[in-house]
Copies of this chain bind each other. A is one copy, B any other.
């Protein structure tokens, strides 16, 4: 789960990392009031879970409170990478001498958290890693010991020459590590971490993603979820414990298992179609889940055909077939449905589907070809 910049900054500030003062606003009037309170030049920043806000015009400098209000009215409602801006952060504008990057994420290969630092801040760290890897210092943090004091120093020593700035940087690295652990984060970054002309080190922008599996332990962070920031269909799916990702195609996919769901999407593409979504309905044959899945898929106006691809392993195919039919009876579906069921008790399942008048297949290739045909014909 991603949280907004302003929320991440609250966590950093609480942990003792210097962050310029600022507050979130949901209306131009609020933004004006905050700008007045802060005084001086402020920055108005769109709060959306997307990169490239600056390029999209979602970050604006305002020399007066009135200017902050005007920028805010333009930014609110703006669409950035498909997400509508609902709030802005109004924050004190800092003079910048240098920009660095500081971040922690969980590294799969190392099976441990990885600290990363670069004196080339302000740009995407992946870009730094690709084009100037010598400007990136990486450190595996042993989960048994956490970030040790000399490691924090070693990271900061890579960013700064001035002893006082190294000290500030090491302190920030130690605090950032605490934020990472205490939030149950999968990623946290400060980019840029600036120095001011007078030598103060400060966090100007921050990102934090929390491991969804940790949320039960961090209720105060779970509460930060901004449901307006995610598409309604995905929120619905999450609440029903379904994994759903919307895509731009026309073949609605409903599959049991994430790997098979991806393979199904790929096969749709292989046969010339375009998948409308990723959707994993999991291992159960519960009709309620299928109903929700169908509701989510059919809410997407692009969908021209619905494709079920079910491999019955532990879950028996006949149970799944019954569940699908019950679900289909409970909601009204306007597009054709094709179903593939294979595995345990597949014969009984096919019988059930045929009786109900459904197009039933046992081969994944056959059903995908049929779905692509139907989508093309529609």
Contacts and interface: CB of A to CB of B under 8 A. Distances in A.
A145 interface: yes
What is the total number of copies of this protein in its complex? Answer: 2
A144 B146 CA distance: 9
A354 to B, nearest CB: 51
Nearest to A144: B144
A144 B144 CA distance: 5
A366 to B, nearest CB: 50
A145 B142 CA distance: 12
A145 B143 CA distance: 9
A145 to B, nearest CB: 7
A176 to B, nearest CB: 21
A149 to B, nearest CB: 14
A150 to B, nearest CB: 17
A318 to B, nearest CB: 39
Contacts of A145: 144
Interface in A132-166: 144-145
A113 B144 CA distance: 16
A168 to B, nearest CB: 21
A215 B232 CA distance: 53
A145 B144 CA distance: 6
A50 to B, nearest CB: 39
Interface string A329-357: 00000000000000000000000000000
A144 B145 CA distance: 6
Contacts of A144: 144-145
A180 to B, nearest CB: 18
Nearest to A145: B144
Interface in A74-113: none
A244 B20 CA distance: 51
A25 B205 CA distance: 53
A216 to B, nearest CB: 16
A113 to B, nearest CB: 15
A145 B145 CA distance: 8
A269 to B, nearest CB: 46
2 contacts: A144-B144, A144-B145
Q: Which 2 A-B pairs have the closest CB atoms?
A: A144-B144, A144-B145
